[in-house]
Homo-oligomer: A and B are copies of this chain.
Amino acid sequence: MSLRVSAVDGLPEIAPGDDLAALIARCGEELLAPGAVVAVAHKLVSKAEGRIVTLADVTPSPLATSLAEDRDDGDARHVQVIIDESEEIVRADRGILICRTRHGFVCANAGVDRSNAPDDAAILLPVDPDASARALRAELERLTSHAPLAVVVTDSFGRAWRRGQVDTAIGAAGIPEAVDHAGRSDRAGRPLVATLPALADEIAAAAGLVRGKASGDGVVVLTGLEHHVTADDGPGAAALIRPTGEDLFR
């Protein structure tokens, strides 16, 4: 089995209201084919959807001002935006803010990022990244006539016990979030228990290998996963969020 992972070249800087599907369809024309998986960095989606906050418009609360004191940039307005995007601050330590976002993702800064953002602005995660993935998928299928396609929306997440970040799925459509091996057996016939490869996350991570973080190259096409791509949208990346009742690390 073999897989090809290719960056889409030539995408312009994305601005609010841009037709992201049309840009991907045009720049990715040679890579797209039925069964292809399109991994899109959330920043492109967020920018196209206008999920940008101008920091000059933000008035920080006393909590934001206090939390900002430990941070390198010391910008309380940025912290206020993080708080506004958070359901819960899971940890605040030495300037690091680990948040549970309104979607349920646990990540640094609630996904609010200033890299590759316009000056004095912060980029938020999409309101509903699975809905973004579904809409992008539908429009890409319509524009290219290459149905079925799958779309995965990604962000770089840190990990509790490991250094560095790995691109992770925050939205998905047309691909199962995970491959359920329950009921299958190993070579010796023993049941494969607790084996649920997080397909959408592995796709996001593979896409991360060919994306240039600095250049903002944000769209990657994976071919060779046709057997996973489905006609229906599927449950989305929300299905990868561990319910808080199962969470051992709050």
Contacts and interface: CB of A to CB of B under 8 A. Distances in A.
Interface string A135-159: 0000000000000000000001001
B2 A186 contact: no
A6 B2 contact: yes
Interface in A94-109: 96, 98, 105-106, 108
Interface residues of A, number: 72
Interface of A: 1-7, 13, 72, 91, 93, 96, 98, 105-106, 108, 114-119, 156, 159-168, 177-178, 181, 184-188, 190, 192-199, 201-203, 205-206, 208-210, 212-216, 224-225, 239-242, 247-249
Q: Interface residues of A: mostly helix, strand, loop or mixed?
A: loop
- Oligomeric state, in number of copies? 2
B248 A98 contact: yes
Nearest to A93: B248
Contact of A181 (B203, B214, B247): B214
A241 B184 CA distance: 32
